[in-house]
């Protein structure tokens, strides 16, 4: 029976409204106690089984990936936007003076692991250039000319695929993905060092704050888009001068311009390089560096300039909801040996990446030599887990095991704080509504939950559709209210 015809229809809709159309909500069962915060007394208890529609409490899954749950990914995108934006223009607990700090928007890409099909557009004429032209091209060791005269369309399936599969270094590719996060960390340390002359000149200490998002290029390698902002560190050393609030976000000296910062970032990116540890006893290690195509642009304030803070925040937020989709790899969880075998394919680019990641990350049987002590065995296993083991754990991500959206501690607010703020907002608007209706609202009570997981997903397709259409109506309504507000305030 469809719920729309059920007398409890409205009750069910309002009960599930907080899932905001989540396609696979978490179902919880148990009790909710209303507690008096002054005395600790339990004023009342509701049990999901007896007091709630379907006998459960629905909570949104909160997945960031649009391929998994579009409505939850949309919430995540909106939060990421707020998070990045507040770090640029202030708000959400960040002072508005950050808008005056020098900031750059930078894209860090991987080096080449072999020629791939690309679409290059001439920025002056807007015309698509031929993919890869080499005048005196000789065949590669595999008998292929590494050229391609086609002008590829934007959605051509060959984009990002190697021109010669055997010339492409798939091992180096997945190893780079696995160490990309470490490369970023070292680049930021380097940038901090390169700022020292400015610190000495001004007798202060500087701090680099950033928000960054990882994105998969079509060839299956991650690259990072980052907003990098310069702050002055608050003084916490009484010998250096008056003490400042350690949480303050202070502007750097005015003679450091966004262009200076862009040059410093470019310098740090081009000089940061290291090698991985040796792979077992082969003596082989891989160099880890950024590719030559690093794009760094000063970010203009809200008033004018090439990139606005809004555009940058929107751009970064969009990528935060994507995983490996651009590479063609399905969104999966960790791969079992069977899954890795299923996706491994020597005839395809993606199949080779999966195979190399899984194989390089699988420890050899003689990793622990005979006669090793327990301590030695534990140490060897731990070392493997922290280095090459990552490639196996993150095979479904082609080796990259980092977070998709990260920020330095002082950059801005966090996703967790935004979620908490939304809950408080919802609670206070509910209380306000109850007041408006003439109900008594007591701010001194607190709801304490004692819940356990009952399952994931809606009970039926009909329920899922109903929740989705209710959420769509709620979104339309919110958009309408917002529109009215902007037109009345204009
Ligand atoms: Zn969801
Ligand atoms: Zn091509
Ligand atoms: Zn070749």
Structure token pair of residue 331? 């969104």
Compare 228 and 91 and report the one with higher pLDDT.
228
Q: What pLDDT sits at residue 304? A: 45
> Which numbered ligand comes closest to the C-alpha of 167?
3
The rounded Å distance from CA 25 to ligand 1 centre is 6
Distance 112 CA to ligand 2 centre (A): 15
- Calculate how far, in angstroms, residue 222's C-alpha sits from the geometric centre of ligand 3: 24
Please report whether residue 429 resides in a domain: yes
Report every protein residue that has its C-beta within 5 angstroms of ion ligand 2.
117, 131, 148, 150
Ligand that lies nearest to the alpha carbon of residue 164, given by its number in the listed order? 3
Query: How far, in Å, is the centroid of ligand 3 from the Cα of 139?
Result: 8
In this prediction, residue 1 carries a pLDDT of 42
Q: Which ligand is nearest to the CA of 58?
A: 1
Gap from CA of 144 to ligand 3 centroid (Å):
6
Q: What is the CA(117)–ligand 3 centre distance, in A?
A: 14
39 lies in the same domain as 104: no
Same domain assignment for residues 35 and 99: no
The Cα–Cα gap between 185 and 140 comes to: 37
CA distance 308 to 331: 32
For the ranges 55-59, 62-66, 136-140, the lowest mean pLDDT is seen at 62-66
- Ligand index nearest the alpha carbon of residue 149: 2
Same domain assignment for residues 9 and 109: no
163: CA distance to ligand 2 center in Å?
7
Domain end: 305, 328, 351, which one?
A: 328
Ligand 1 midpoint to CA 342 (Å)? 28
In a domain, 204, yes or no: yes
Residue 425's pLDDT is what?
57
> Would residue 139 count as lying in a domain?
no
Which ligand is nearest the CA of 168, by number?
3
Centroid of ligand 3 to alpha carbon of 418 (angstroms): 50
In a domain, 10, yes or no: yes
For the question of whether the overall pTM of this predicted structure is more than 0.95, the answer is: no
What average pLDDT does the segment 186-211 reach? 93
Residues 288 and 424 reside in one and the same domain: no
pLDDT at residue 198, as a whole number: 93
Does a structural domain hold residue 342?
no
Looking at the fold, whether 312 and 176 belong to one and the same domain comes out as yes
CA–centroid distance, 135 to ligand 2, in Å, is 15
Choosing from 275, 310, 328, the residue where a domain stops is 328
- Residue 146 placed within a domain: no
Please say whether the beta carbons of 86 and 242 come within 8 A: no
Do 181 and 260 share a domain, yes or no?
yes
Co-location of 62 and 198 in the same domain: no
pLDDT exceeds 80 at position 426:
no
Tell me which of 109-118, 232-241, 448-457 is least confident.
448-457
Cα 79 to ligand 1 centre (Å): 15
Q: What is the pLDDT of residue 295?
A: 86
145 CA to centre of ligand 3 in angstroms: 8
* Greater model confidence, 228 or 485: 228
Q: Examine the pLDDT at 346 and tell me if it is beyond 50.
A: yes
What separation in Å is there between the alpha carbon of 157 and the centre of ligand 2?
A: 10
Q: How confident is the model at residue 302 (pLDDT cuts 50, 70, 90)?
A: very low
Q: What is the mean pLDDT of residues 349-355?
A: 93
- CA 163 to ligand 3 centroid distance, Å: 8
**How many Å lie between the centroid of ligand 1 and the Cα of residue 62?**
5
Give residue 212's pLDDT: 86
Range 316-326 average pLDDT: 68
Query: Does residue 374 form part of some domain?
Result: no
| 13/53 Cα distance (integer angstroms) | 9
- Residue 53, domain member (yes or no): yes
The residue that leads in pLDDT, 66 or 257, is 257
Judged by its nearest atom, the ligand closest to the C-alpha of residue 25 is: 1
Query: What is the distance in A from the centroid of ligand 3 to the CA of 293?
Result: 24
Structural domains in the chain (count): 2
- Residue 356, pLDDT > 90, answer yes
Which tops the pLDDT comparison, 285 or 50?
Answer: 285
What pLDDT sits at residue 485?
64
Mean pLDDT calculated for residue range 332-349: 87
**Across all residues in the chain, what is the average pLDDT?**
82
| Ligand that lies nearest to the alpha carbon of residue 64, given by its number in the listed order | 1
- Cα 149 to averaged position of ligand 3 atoms, centre (Å): 17
Q: What is the pLDDT of residue 183?
A: 96
Average pLDDT over residues 87-98: 82
pLDDT of residue 121: 87
How sure is the predictor about 192, in pLDDT bands with cuts at 50, 70 and 90?
very high
Please report where in the chains the tokens 């006998």 appear, as a residue: 55
- For residue 36, is pLDDT > 90? no
| Ligand nearest to the backbone CA of 148 | 2
Largest CA distance in the chain: 86
| Domain around 464 | 3-67+413-489
Closest ligand to residue 456's CA: 1
- Asked if 186 and 297 sit in the same domain, the reply is yes
How many angstroms is it from 345 CA to the middle of ligand 3? 18
> pLDDT value at position 152?
93
Tokens linked to 209? 């704050």
Centre of ligand 2 from the C-alpha of residue 345, in Å: 22
Domain co-membership, 182 together with 279: yes
Of the residues 307, 328, 349, which one is the last residue of a structural domain? 328
* Contact present, 54 and 25 (Cβ < 8 Å): no
Ligand 2 centroid vs 291 CA: distance in angstroms?
A: 20
Same-domain pairing of 254 and 203: yes
Whether residue 317 sits in one domain with residue 206: yes
Highest mean pLDDT among 125-129, 156-160, 270-274: 270-274
pLDDT of residue 449: 64
Are 218 and 173 members of one domain?
A: yes
């Amino acid at each position: 029976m469809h719920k729309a015809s059920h007398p409890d229809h409205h009750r069910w809709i309002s009960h599930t409204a907080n899932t905001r159309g989540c396609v696979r909500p978490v179902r919880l069962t148990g009790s909710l106690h209303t507690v008096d915060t002054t005395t600790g007394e339990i004023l009342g208890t509701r049990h999901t089984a007896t007091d709630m529609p379907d006998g459960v409490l629905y909570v949104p899954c909160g997945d960031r990936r649009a391929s998994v749950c579009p409505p939850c990914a949309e919430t995540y995108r909106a939060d990421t936007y707020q998070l990045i934006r507040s770090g640029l223009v202030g708000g959400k607990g960040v002072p508005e003076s950050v808008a005056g700090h020098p900031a750059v928007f930078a894209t860090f890409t991987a080096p080449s692991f072999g020629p791939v099909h690309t679409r290059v557009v001439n920025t002056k004429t807007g015309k698509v250039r031929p993919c890869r032209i080499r005048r005196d091209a000789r065949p590669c060791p595999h008998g292929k000319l590494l050229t391609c005269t086609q002008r590829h369309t934007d959605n051509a399936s060959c984009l990002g695929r190697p021109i010669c599969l055997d010339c492409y270094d798939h091992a180096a590719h997945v190893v780079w993905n696995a160490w990309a996060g470490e490369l970023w960390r070292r680049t930021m340390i380097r940038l901090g060092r390169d700022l020292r002359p400015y610190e000495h000149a001004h007798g202060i200490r500087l701090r680099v704050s950033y928000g960054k998002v990882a994105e998969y290029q079509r060839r299956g390698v991650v690259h990072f888009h980052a907003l990098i902002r310069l702050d002055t560190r608050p003084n916490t050393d009484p010998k250096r001068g008056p003490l400042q609030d350690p949480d303050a976000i202070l502007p750097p000296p005015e003679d450091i311009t966004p262009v200076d910062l862009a040059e410093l970032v470019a310098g740090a990116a081009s000089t940061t390089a290291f090698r991985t540890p040796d792979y077992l006893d082969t003596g082989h290690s891989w160099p880890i560096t950024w590719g030559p195509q690093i794009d760094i642009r000063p970010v203009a304030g809200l008033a004018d300039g090439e990139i606005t803070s809004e555009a940058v925040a929107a751009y970064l937020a969009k990528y935060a909801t994507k995983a490996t989709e651009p590479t063609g790899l399905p969104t999966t969880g960790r791969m079992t040996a069977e899954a890795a075998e299923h996706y491994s394919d020597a005839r395809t680019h993606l199949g080779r990446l999966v195979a190399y990641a899984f194989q390089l990350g699988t420890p050899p049987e003689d990793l622990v030599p005979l006669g090793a002590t327990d301590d030695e065995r534990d140490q060897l296993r731990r070392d493997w887990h922290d280095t090459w083991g990552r490639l196996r754990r993150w095979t479904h991500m082609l080796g990259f095991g980092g977070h998709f959206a990260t920020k330095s501690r002082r950059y801005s607010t966090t996703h967790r704080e935004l979620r908490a703020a939304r809950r408080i907002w919802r609670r206070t608007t509910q209380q306000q509504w109850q007041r408006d209706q003439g109900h008594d609202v007591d701010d001194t009570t607190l709801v304490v939950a004692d819940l356990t997981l009952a399952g994931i997903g809606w009970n039926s397709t009909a329920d899922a559709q109903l929740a989705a259409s209710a959420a769509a109506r709620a979104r339309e309504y919110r958009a309408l209210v917002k529109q009215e507000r902007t037109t009345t305030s204009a």
